[in-house]
């Protein structure tokens, strides 16, 4: 019954608070998007439009409370790319041969874009960035906890049936994306309990990725870990924390996991493993569609319908976000979606630089979360079709919100502190030059 009580309570509280503070309604919406109550507790939570109630209240509050600000600073290019991708998807749905499937894609994307815009226009402080980060980590951490509990009870539900509407590969990619956020939140948190909860959540996510038996998820975790090592603060405690997490992950990877990961690269009699070879064949066919229809593609959600033309079963996904997006929305749609992620990663990488002056250290932490989480996602998305996986969009929201807070002029009471930090950095540079 805990699931039912949680769902009703969060729906009621999230809807009511949205009228006063749409940002806090967004937090409830994000929590539901990650936890998925109907999938988490299917025996207790009846089907319902819980997220829709929160979303409608959030939009009303966003419209009438006038708490939104469209001074977005460096995040303008990010939200513009996402908005253009939505518009291009709508155009693609209008001309798509199968209208229902095309508009289903637009509807799903619309449910992501609207909360993204509400969040970005209402984030105006570091405190809100911290709240969003903690909601993401606690929600994804709880999902990982339940998946681990199933695993230790003797039933690997993640590898067998995935989670919610996601298969094991897509769920694993979501866990990796959340892992980057949890790890850096744990490194930055000051209190012992906060650090323990964040790093504990990261450990649960990492272990879940291993027993998901998803080679794409394991690859993403390796890439994300390597990226995190490059951008972690160069202090002993951070290196120790990273080393501890690495030891735990390696220790948890048993023979079965290592054997499964090795099949991604192995060949037998000169032939690749069947699943890996089928992915290459699917990508080749998607590339053929892109060459034949380079501008509009075959239409949103249309590739599974034309897959039989290339000898695949009806409904066959391309097993690649990038190749399937290119096939369905052409090079234009692919470029817009890629620029949404890559522009956020590039701008966040710049903020990660040691010499970049920020008003609050947590802004750099959010940038690090974005770089680490999204790097693994961008690489692994080449191996999985997950057009509407929500967590990566919220990681972009977190980083874009940090870019907004960083680049938009702060109130006058913050300027003195900003100037003092600037003078300290320049003073340090001068001393280094003199010493040299």
Q: How many domains does the chain have?
A: 2
- Cα-to-chain-centroid distance, residue 415: 33
Residues 121, 68 contacting (CB under 8 angstroms): yes
Return the number of other C-beta atoms located less than 10 Å from residue 316's C-beta.
Answer: 19
pLDDT at 244 > cutoff 90:
no
Query: Residue 271: what pLDDT?
Result: 47
Question: In this prediction, what percent of the chain has a pLDDT beyond 70?
Answer: 84
The per-residue pLDDT for 413 is 37
Task: Give the model confidence (pLDDT) of 247-303 as tens digits.
Answer: 766 666 655 555 555 555 455 544 455 667 788 899 999 999 999 999 999 999 999
Same domain, 39 and 124: no
52 and 104 share one domain? no
Please tell me the predicted confidence (pLDDT) of residue 225: 80
Please give the Cα distance from 123 to 133 (Å, whole number): 12
299 contacts 92 by C-beta, under 8 angstroms: yes
Do residues 129 and 361 make contact, with C-beta atoms less than 8 angstroms apart? no
pLDDT at 95: 92
Say whether both 232 and 342 belong to one domain.
Answer: yes
Q: Which of 67, 87, 118 is the endpoint of a domain?
A: 67
What local confidence, expressed as pLDDT, does residue 213 receive?
83
- pLDDT bucket at 342, cuts 50 / 70 / 90: very high
Average pLDDT over residues 380-401: 88
The CA–CA distances, whole Å, from 401 to 79, 81, 412 equal 11, 15, 20
CA dihedral for 177, 198, 4, 395, sign (positive or negative): negative
Per-residue buried b or exposed e for 237-260, using 16+ beta carbons within 10 Å of the residue's own CB: eeeebbeebeeebeeebeeebeeb
Same domain for 185 and 51?
no
- Does some domain include residue 433? no
Asked if the structure places residue 426 within a domain, the reply is: no
- For Cα atoms 110, 373, 6, give the angle at the middle one, nearest 5 degrees: 60
Mean pLDDT across 117-126:
93
CA nearest to 175, candidates 162, 188, 186, 185: 162
Residues 62 and 98 in one domain: no
Determine, yes or no, domain membership for 434.
Answer: no
Structure confidence at residue 164 as a pLDDT band (50, 70, 90): confident
Domain closes at, from 46, 67, 88: 67
For the residues 190-203, what does the mean pLDDT come to?
89
Is the predicted pLDDT of residue 425 greater than 50, yes or no?
no
As a whole number of angstroms, the distance between CA 3 and CA 78 comes to: 36
pLDDT value for 84: 96
How high does pLDDT run on average in the chain? Answer: 84
In this predicted structure, what is the pLDDT of residue 254? 55
The rounded distance, in Å, linking the Cα atoms of 398 and 414 is 22
The answer to whether 102 touches 96, Cβ cutoff 8 Å, is yes
382, 407: one domain: yes
- As a whole number, mean pLDDT of residues 232-245 equals 69
Residues 131, 17 within the same domain? no
Out of 224-238, 287-301, 354-368, give the one with best mean pLDDT: 287-301
Mark whether 267 and 349 lie in a shared domain.
Answer: yes
Give the lowest-confidence range in 104-118, 146-160, 269-283, 398-412: 269-283
76-85, 131-140, 156-165, range with the lowest pLDDT: 156-165
- Of 410, 409, 372, residue with least CA distance to 392: 372
Residue 140 predicted with pLDDT over 70: yes
- Name residues whose C-beta falls within 8 Å of residue 57's C-beta, 6 or more positions apart in sequence: 14, 15, 16, 18, 19, 25
Residues 148 and 7 reside in one and the same domain: no
Residue scoring higher pLDDT (353 or 374)? 374
Cα–Cα distance, 114 to 135 (Å, whole number): 19
Q: What is the pLDDT of residue 242?
A: 65
Quick check: is 435 in a domain? Answer: no
Domain assignment of residue 430, yes or no? no
Joined together, the tokens standing for residue 71 give 């001074």
- Cα angle 353, 68, 375 (rounded to 5 degrees) comes to 35
- 408 or 327: whose pLDDT is higher? 327
Angstrom distance (rounded) from CA 158 to CA 149: 11
Of 216 and 84, the structure prediction assigns the larger pLDDT to 84
Lowest mean per-residue pLDDT among 139-148, 162-171, 414-423: 414-423
Residue 181 resides in a domain: yes
pLDDT given for residue 10 in this prediction: 92
* pLDDT surpassing 90 at residue 143: yes
When pLDDT is cut at 50, 70 and 90, the band that residue 246 belongs to is low
Residue 432 confidence (pLDDT): 32
Whole-number Å distance between alpha carbons of 280 and 51: 37
410 within a domain of the structure (yes/no): yes
pLDDT-derived band at 241 (thresholds 50, 70, 90) equals low
Domain that holds residue 25: 1-67
Query: What are the beta bridge partners of residue 268?
Result: 271
Pair 295, 253 in one domain: yes
**Residue 388 and residue 404: Cα distance in Å, rounded?**
24
* Model pLDDT, residue 227: 82
Highest mean pLDDT among 246-255, 310-319, 418-427: 310-319
Residue 115 lies in a domain: yes
Residues 211 and 283 in one domain: yes
H, E, C per residue of the chain? CHHHHHHHHHHHHHHHHHHHCHHHHHHHHHHHHHHCHHHHCCCCCCCCCHHHHHHHHHHHHHHHCCCCCCCCHHHHHHHHHHHHHHHHHHHHHHHCCCHHHHHHHHHHHHHHHHHHHHHHHHCCCHHHHHHHHHHHHHHHHHHHHHHHHHHHCCCCHHHHHCECCECHHHHHHHHHHHHHHHHHHHHHCCCHHHHHHHHHHHHHHHHHHHHCCCHHHHHHHHHHHHHHHHHCCCCHHHHHHHHHHHHHHHHHCCHHHHHHHHCCCCEECCEECHHHHHHHHHHHHHHHHHHHCCCCCCCCCCHHHHHHHHCCCCCCCCCCHHHHHHHHHHHHHHHHHHHHHHHHHHHHHHHHCCCCCCCCHHHHHHHHHHHHHHHHHHHHCCCCCCCCCCHHHHHHHHHHHHHHHHHCCCCHHHHHHHHHHHHHHHHHHHHHHHHC
Mean pLDDT computed over 370-382: 88
State whether 59 and 130 are in the same domain.
no
Q: End of a domain among 36, 67, 98?
A: 67
pLDDT, residue 312, reads: 92
Residue 253: per-residue pLDDT? 60
């Amino acid at each position: 019954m805990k699931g039912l009580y949680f769902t009703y309570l969060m729906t009621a509280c999230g809807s009511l608070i949205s009228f006063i503070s749409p940002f806090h309604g967004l937090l409830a919406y994000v929590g539901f998007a990650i936890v998925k109550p109907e999938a988490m507790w299917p025996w207790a939570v009846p089907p319902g439009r819980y997220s829709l109630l929160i979303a409608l209240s959030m939009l009303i509050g966003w419209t009438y409370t006038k708490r939104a600000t469209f001074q977005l600073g460096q995040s303008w290019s990010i939200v513009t790319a996402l908005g253009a991708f939505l518009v291009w998807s709508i155009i693609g749905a209008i001309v798509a041969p199968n209208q229902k499937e095309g508009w289903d894609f637009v509807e799903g994307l619309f449910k992501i874009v609207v909360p993204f815009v509400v969040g970005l226009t209402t984030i105006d402080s570091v405190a809100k960035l911290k709240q969003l980060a903690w909601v993401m980590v606690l929600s994804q951490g709880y999902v990982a906890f339940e998946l681990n509990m199933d695993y230790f009870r003797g039933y690997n539900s993640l590898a067998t049936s995935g989670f919610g509407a996601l298969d094991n590969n897509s769920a694993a990619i979501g866990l990796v994306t959340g892992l980057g956020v949890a790890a850096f939140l744990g490194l930055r948190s000051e209190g012992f309990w906060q650090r323990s909860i964040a790093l504990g959540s990261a450990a649960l996510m990492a272990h879940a990725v291993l027993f998901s038996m998803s080679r794409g998820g394991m690859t993403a975790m390796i890439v994300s870990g390597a990226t995190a090592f490059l951008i972690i603060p160069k202090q002993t405690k951070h290196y120790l924390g990273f080393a501890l997490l690495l030891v735990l992950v390696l220790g948890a990877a048993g023979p079965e996991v290592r054997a499964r990961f090795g099949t991604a690269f192995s060949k037998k009699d000169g032939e690749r493993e069947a699943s890996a070879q089928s992915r290459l064949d699917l990508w080749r066919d998607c590339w053929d569609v892109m060459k034949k229809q380079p501008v509009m593609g075959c239409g949103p959600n249309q590739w599974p319908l034309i897959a039989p033309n290339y000898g695949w079963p009806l409904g066959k996904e391309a097993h690649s976000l990038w190749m399937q997006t290119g096939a369905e929305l052409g090079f234009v749609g692919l470029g817009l979606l890629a620029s949404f992620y890559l522009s956020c990663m590039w701008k966040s990488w710049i903020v990660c630089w040691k010499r970049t002056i920020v008003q609050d250290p947590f802004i750099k932490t959010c940038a690090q979360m974005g770089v680490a989480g999204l790097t693994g996602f961008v690489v692994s998305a080449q191996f999985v079709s997950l057009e509407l996986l929500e967590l990566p969009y919220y990681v972009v929201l977190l980083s874009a919100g940090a870019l907004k807070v960083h680049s938009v002029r702060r109130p006058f009471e913050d300027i003195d502190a900003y100037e003092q930090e600037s003078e300290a950095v320049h003073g340090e540079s001068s001393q280094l030059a003199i010493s040299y």
